[in-house]
Structure 1
Amino acid sequence: MTHEFESGFFVKEPAWHRLGKVLNNPPTTEQAIIEAGLDWKVLEEPIYRQQEDEFVSLPTHKCLIRSGDQQLLGVVSKAYHPLQNSEAFKWFDVLLHEGDVTLEAAGSLKRGKRIWILAKIQMNPVEIQEGDAIQPYLLLHNSHDGSTAIWIQFTPIRVVCWNTLSWASASRFEEEKKRKAFRIRHNSNIEEKLALAHLALDLSRRSFNTAIDEYKAMATKPISRELFELYIGNIFSSDSPTENWAFPLIQENFEAGKGNGGKTLWDAYNGFTEWLDHQRGKSEVSRLESAWFGDSARLRIKAHREALALL
């Protein structure tokens, strides 16, 4: 539902959901938090229950409230420490000041319950094949309802059509073990853990170089119609992918999608990710959330794994 995208900005052009403000230039941290509609605080308030003739506060839980409109964000344990939006943006400050990244996008979903910040890593885009370039990003996403930890991860994006790609031969949790993603729990040591900025940037740059090698290998792998059907079937875990309603759309993307020619494994992989980002789901907003945080993120990882298995 469109109301789940509450506010946000993108630099120079909107992403696939076509929502939010479009800025002409990358903003500073101070500008970004305002343009994203995230210039509010998470307030902590006690929860009361009636006990005989008086109200007493619960010793185990508290409410998280958004300042300004008093929107209820969530109910969490007393040990939970919210990461304020201003602190999330400050995580990028040292990298911004040193010219390592620029802020590309940020926004609020589900009435402030989930926020995200996307920063472009200052590396030259790399062409996988002529006219088909990949750009590396860092994505920070956080929940204000207690549903998730704070995640910071490397995210490659295909420039020609803003497909979010995967370099996740494993899930986020497996990536964390391999130090390709960071999960920061909501506790009193958040500020100390946010000092991982330089490490995250370094690992992202190395991940990007490895991802490029994998993508180029896909681009040199010819694929037949039969192998294409096998590939899509393996992603969906189905013996008959043509019976899936999505298959005709994915096949069309494979053969004639943006930057595709229907000839290589790279075309097949991008045909699938184009479907995830631009065609799957009931609304543009649901595609955005699913692409980065939901089921589409899971399918993207599987598509990457299955592509590597065919190399």
Structure 2
Amino acid sequence: MAHEISSMAYIGATPWHGLGNQLTEQQPINIWLKEAGMDWSIQQSDVLFNADSAALNIRSHSDAKVLYRSDSLEPLSVVSNRYKVVQPHEVLNFYKDLVSVGGFELETAGVLKGGRKLWALAKTGQEARIKGNDRIKAYLLLATSCDGTLCTTAQFTSVRVVCNNTLQMATRESSGAVKIPHSTKFDPMQVKEALGLGFSNWDAFMRNLKQLGQRSVSPEEADQYLRIVLNEPEYSEANADSKIFQKVSGLYLGEGMGSDYSAASGTAWGLLNAVTEYVDHHRRARNQDNRLDSAWFGQGAQLKHKALEQALTLVH
């Protein structure tokens, strides 16, 4: 298919990747399941193999199972018998009580890689500003996989409104995330209890970001910061700067969305957002599916975390 984001639904503005079915607000979970392409279940079956290429000799592998979609019967993965599946409806129902009594609002949900990964993102209602009109909103992301590539992960994520840059909410005291391995049964209530501490750290997280917006950086500091974060060697005639370094530098120096805001122009906050915008919007990816996967769960997420940690060294 042209886009690997197999299906998704959203409310409000069109997501940055431009895909999905738009919903009106306050839709019930069953509508979300249908429109997000999540109204199916993960089934399992024995692993069978032909033990003799010259003749039909079908045998089973008792220590593994095949996971497949109930609607299309498409195989998803081969996993061990100990693998605990999290169903698509469990991902969305995780938010049900949070939406009804907690002030949360589902904003987007969908299926990645044909159903191998599932996710949903909800606004928490928390919002803050970093010097002027640079608005940051807090979200809760729940994602899981059925191919072993991702623990079931619930994490608080911040979104910068002007550019939709995403950044995992973390402080020195808390990662803002709860991860449940697939060897353990998913218990929504335990996850929500464990997330309570992370949610309480929103104020501390925002204090850090506001400090970044107040920390002016010299051209030399900006150059050193980007070289550390991007593992870029010092410039020389024999060793010109990479295209990635040039791109991120350009985003910082005025090409980036919101780079002209007072909080971002010439500050540590601007440096951090140059990296997050590069990861979320410009980093090379085979398709939007891989870009989203990397930005939230893979190498892109790791690069953004490194950028945050390095930025905080400028203010602490």
Contact 1:138 1:204 in 2 (8 A): no
Question: Aligned partners of 1:44 and 1:208: how far apart in 2?
Answer: 40
Partner in structure 2 of residue 138 of structure 1: 140
Contact 1:29 1:90 in 2 (8 A): yes
Which of 147, 162, 185 does residue 189 from structure 1 map onto? 185
Query: How far is the alpha carbon of 1:14 from its aligned partner?
Result: 2.2
Contact 2:229 2:303 in 1 (8 A): yes
Match status 1:64 vs 2:67: yes
Matching of residues 244-255 of structure 1 within 5 Å: 244-255=242-253
Structure 1 unmatched runs, 5+: none
**Secondary structure of 1:111's match?**
helix
Amino acid at match of 2:161: V
Query: How far is the alpha carbon of 1:57 from its aligned partner?
Result: 2.5
Partner in structure 2 of residue 258 of structure 1: 257
Partner in structure 2 of residue 232 of structure 1: 226
Contact 1:169 1:305 in 2 (8 A): no
Contact 2:177 2:195 in 1 (8 A): no
Residues 136-189 of structure 1, C-alpha deviation per residue, up to 9 Å, x if partnerless?
A: 11111111223322111111111111000233368xxxx8xx563111122463
Per mean C-alpha deviation after superposition, the further-off stretch among 296-305 and 242-251 is 242-251
Question: Aligned partners of 2:84 and 2:129: how far apart in 1?
Answer: 42
- Residues 69 and 223 of structure 1, relative CA distance in 2, 3 Å threshold: same
Partner in structure 2 of residue 37 of structure 1: 37
**Secondary structure of 2:272's match?**
helix
Match status 1:207 vs 2:210: no
Per mean C-alpha deviation after superposition, the further-off stretch among 298-307 and 146-155 is 146-155
Residues 263-309 of structure 1, C-alpha deviation per residue, up to 9 Å, x if partnerless?
A: 11111111221111111113433321211011110100000011011
**Secondary structure of 1:243's match?**
coil
Query: How far is the alpha carbon of 1:197 from its aligned partner?
Result: 4.8
* Large movers: runs of 4+ above 4 Å: 50-54
Residues 207-266 of structure 1, C-alpha deviation per residue, up to 9 Å, x if partnerless?
A: 221110000000010111111111100101223376121223222221322222331111
- Residues 66 and 99 of structure 1, relative CA distance in 2, 3 Å threshold: same
**Secondary structure of 1:122's match?**
strand
Which of 255, 274, 279 does residue 276 from structure 1 map onto? 279
Amino acid at match of 1:186: H
Higher relative contact order (CA 8 A, sep 6+): 1
Which of 62, 75, 78 does residue 78 from structure 2 map onto? 75
Query: How far is the alpha carbon of 1:103 from its aligned partner?
Result: 0.6
Amino acid at match of 2:305: I
Which of 290, 301, 305 does residue 297 from structure 1 map onto? 301
Per mean C-alpha deviation after superposition, the further-off stretch among 49-58 and 196-205 is 49-58
- Residues 109 and 189 of structure 1, relative CA distance in 2, 3 Å threshold: closer
Question: Aligned partners of 2:111 and 2:217: how far apart in 1?
Answer: 40
Match status 1:118 vs 2:121: yes
Which of 92, 96, 111 does residue 93 from structure 1 map onto? 96
**Secondary structure of 1:300's match?**
helix
- Residues 40 and 228 of structure 1, relative CA distance in 2, 3 Å threshold: same
- Residues 214 and 58 of structure 1, relative CA distance in 2, 3 Å threshold: same
Question: Aligned partners of 1:156 and 1:235: how far apart in 2?
Answer: 20
Question: Aligned partners of 2:73 and 2:192: how far apart in 1?
Answer: 36
Question: Aligned partners of 1:254 and 1:50: how far apart in 2?
Answer: 57
Output the TM-score relative to the length of structure 2. 0.88
Partner in structure 2 of residue 84 of structure 1: 87
Partner in structure 1 of residue 111 of structure 2: 108
Question: Aligned partners of 2:175 and 2:230: how far apart in 1?
Answer: 28
Amino acid at match of 1:33: L
Output the TM-score relative to the length of structure 1. 0.90
Contact 1:169 1:304 in 2 (8 A): no
- Residues 179 and 133 of structure 1, relative CA distance in 2, 3 Å threshold: closer
Question: Aligned partners of 1:179 and 1:231: how far apart in 2?
Answer: 22
Question: Aligned partners of 2:241 and 2:61: how far apart in 1?
Answer: 53
**Secondary structure of 1:298's match?**
helix
Per mean C-alpha deviation after superposition, the further-off stretch among 240-249 and 8-17 is 240-249
